Structure formats: structure tokens, C-alpha cells
Amino acid sequence: MAVVNIRRDVDDKFYRYRMPVLLTKIEGKGNGIKTVIPNMSDVARALSRPPTYPTKFFGCELGAQTVLDEKNDRYIVNGAHDAAKLRELLDGFIEKFVLCKACKNPETDLIITKSDDIIRDCKACGERTGVDMRHKLTTYIIKNPPKNPKKSKRKATADGSPSPNGGENGEGDEDAGGESDDELTKRIRAEAAELNADAAIAKEDWSADTSPEAVRARMKAVEASLASVSLVAAGEEDSDEDADSPFSQLGHWISDNRDIGAVEIYKKAEELGIAKKHNTVQVISQTLFTEDIVTEIPKYAPLFVKMVTSEKHQKALLGGIERFVGVLHPDLIPAIPKILMEFYQVDVLDEELLKQWGTHVSKKYVDRDTSKKVRKASEPFLKWLDEAEDTESEE
């Protein structure tokens, strides 16, 4: 397949950033005529963007409807459009939504801020530059945000799937391989000696304040963790009903050191030999957070990205959240859509698993009535997931 420079204005055969030549195929006739783009996925992969973005861009620029069929890898723009015209439009998409505004390098990721602004994060020069939010495509991008690159890198070791937002342009893959799995692992290795010393200090600091108020506060935290750490089902190994089990020890330790960082928590789980167990995720999720859980999730997102490695881990995380809001903080039940959204946005929880969880009441972690209340409260978020998918299907 022929390839061209991503920046077609660069006349350099050694230019490192390349993409396949955009191909088109006219199908149908009359009012049903349409332009199929058979290699849109390949082109989009070279740009580190979902194929729906450039296809939707063509539709916005041409005033034409588009068909975005990701399952069958089929992308269509209604009407007859020659390849030269679409290639020119692709140049416009690259200029507006791919190239760094500062260094004109295509090695960027799209980031959606809390204020719904879209930023191009350049891996080459480190600049963060905004896009023109007046363009119609920005609305679609905000409703269909790009997937988090970190999750893709994690999954690459499990199922071989490539990163959708990085790695196709060369240097973007440097974090995906080598000695370290991700930023969290690098920090663990780099600070191992210091962490060991800090961990020893942390174990002693809890008793520094012996005032009646401090003692009552610690007892309350311990009681909360004891109430929450009934994790492993009957008959499983390492039953949490044993107060000396590693899960109970981790729960107590987190309760006494709630302000501790993500690295230290992971090191403690490793020390107890339960870093890879799915029940560990549940213990952390129901003992780490406070009433400000919505704002605390981004702080600990790298920890969950590292530890949640399977569907079983995701279910355990949902179970921990269910107990956290349903038993420990029932006043937070109305906030469950925001909590789920935060974990979804950092790609810790998958869409299909969330939908399945939302339609199946379970008494595995809480009583049935509480389970119903939590799922009932999550309906706005689940509805948002369905509407986003329906909108894409209709287009």
C-alpha cells in the first residue's frame, strides 16, 4: 500500500511520520450513492486517532451524513466524493486535530479537560495547545472521547491489542515496552529504598497523637475498615473473616494511612503478597476514599490502572464501590454516576461490564435492597452510555 508523509507539505522522503494514502470507493447510484473509505482504520491508526474522527470531520466539512460502523470496520460518507477532495480534507483534519500548534509534530494525544475543552498534548515538545472549539467535530469528540492510552498499554500485555492513541508514530511507544510497565512501576523501582524507610516510619507515626480525639478518630477508621472487609466468598482461600488475613491487614493499614500515596499502597499489597489478587482492589476501593471520593479518584487512578487487569478485578472494584456508598456512606449513593464516570474516563471500568453490572442486582457484596438502590442511582450514567452508543449507530 502506498504511503505519504502525514504532513504532505513536507517534501522529505526520510520524514519519519508516514500514513497510507487515503483510498475511496464509490458504491450505489442515484440518491443512494455513497463513498466508502476502505482503509480509514489504517490511516487513523497512523494518526493515533479513532477512525470515526476523520470520517465525521469529512461529514461536517461536506455537509453529508456519515456511517460509522466500527464493528465491521466500515466508514462511509454519503454522496460521491473523489479521493483528491477527501485527501485535501484529511490535510485539514490533521492540521486542526493532530499537529501540535507549537512544533507541527503529529505525535500528539487528545485530552478533554473538565471544562470540556479539547487539548493536543504533544509528546515531542511537551506543549499543550487547544483546538478550535467552534468546529462541529469538537461536539462529537467530547461525546465520544478517545480512549486512555494507559489502559491500552496495560492490555497489550494481556491480549495483544495495540494502543489507540499512541505508538504508531515511533517514539510514542517508548513507555509500552522495556523494563517498566508504566509510570507507577518506574516510580516503585526508582524509590524502593526510600519507600522501605518511609513505610517503617508510617507504621510508627499513627500513635504519635494520643489525645482522646485522635484515638476516637483512629478507632472509628478501624471500625469502618472492619465493617467493610468481608470480601472473599465462603470456601475461598485467605478468608477475610480472619482478622489476621492479608486483606484485613491491608484494610487496617490503609485506614491508618489514608493520605499515603499510590506507590506506597501498591508496595504494601506486594509486601502482603496480594498485589495481583482481585479482592485487593475491593479492599482498597472501600477503605481508601472519603466523602470526597469523586475528586480523589483521579489522584489514585494510576494505582487502579495498574491493579485492575481483568474482568474479575473490575467486578471486585464495583463491589467495593457498592459497599463504600451502600454501607459506609449511604449519603453518597446519589453520587454513584459521578463515581462511575471517573473510573470510566480513566479506562479502569469497561462499558460492556458496566452495562451488565447495572442490569443485574446481586447480594454478593451488599444486601439486595442496597444493591437495587445503588444500581437505581447509577441509571443516569448507564443511560448516557446507551445514548452515546445509539447516536454513533444512527450516524
Structure confidence by residue, pLDDT tens digits, 109-167: 999 998 999 999 999 898 999 999 999 999 999 999 987 554 444 444 334 444 444 44
Range of the domain at 88: 3-173
Element (H, E) at 5: strand 3-5
**Of the candidates 289, 284, 283, 278, which has an alpha carbon nearest to the alpha carbon of residue 311?**
278
Which of residues 150, 173, 196 is at a domain's end? 173
Instruction: Give dist(CA 325, CA 115) in Å, integer.
Output: 27
Q: Is the pLDDT of residue 277 over 80?
A: yes
Asked if residue 178 belongs to a domain, the reply is no
Domain at 333, CATH number: 1.25.40.180
51 and 162 both lie in a single domain: yes
The domain tally of the chain equals: 2
Task: Please give the model's pTM, rounded to 2 decimal places.
Answer: 0.43
pLDDT score of 214 more than 70: no
Residues 124 and 194 placed together within one structural domain of the fold: no
Q: What pLDDT score was predicted for residue 345?
A: 87
Same domain (yes/no): 309, 285 = yes
313 plus 252 within the same structural domain: yes
The average pLDDT across 269-297 equals 91
Residue 351 has a pLDDT of 87
Phi and psi at 367, nearest 5°, equal -70, 160
> Phi first, then psi: what are they for 203, rounded to 5°?
-70, -25
pLDDT value, residue 80: 94
- Return the C-alpha cell found at 311: 474482568
Task: Give the rounded percent of residues in the chain with a pLDDT score beyond 90.
Answer: 46
Give CA–CA dist 247/270, Å, rounded.
12
Specify whether 135 is located in the same domain as 190.
no
Last residue of a domain, one of 144, 173, 202: 173
Report the distance separating Cα 5 and Cα 18, nearest Å: 4
